[in-house]
Amino acid sequence: MAKFQEVVNSHPLVLVDFHATWCGPCKTLAPILKEVKNKVGEGVKIVKIDVDKHQQLSAQMGVRGVPTMVLYKNGTQVWRQSGVVPASQLEALLQTHQN
């Protein structure tokens, strides 16, 4: 958990994607995240966490379904959603919090 906090605090805007290799919607979300990253650039750090490899962290974070995305601004959680989110909605969310 301490390493996770370090990562979340390492950049002003961090989007954490809790996912699983066996999850269909997670596979749908992966190219969306790549597209969003290309558009918003260095303004956001995107971190992918495999819930099967990091079960304790996932439990501590209250992740009950995948994909679950959590956005942190300056180390504080400001948004959280489960399921696939369209690229346009994610971009708008990130741009809102970049200012």
pLDDT at 98: 84
CATH of 2-94, one of 3.40.50.11260, 3.40.30.10, 3.40.50.2300, 3.40.50.880: 3.40.30.10
Among 52, 35, 51, 43, CA closest to 71: 43
Residue boundaries of the structural domains of the chain:
2-94
Query: Residue 82: what residue type?
Result: S
What is the phi/psi pair of residue 30, to 5°? Answer: -55, -50
Model confidence pTM above 0.75: yes
Q: So what's the pLDDT on residue 97?
A: 92
pLDDT tens digits for range 4-59: 999 999 999 999 999 999 999 999 999 999 999 999 988 899 999 999 999 999 99
In the prediction, which pLDDT does 4 show?
92
Return the active site residues: 23, 26
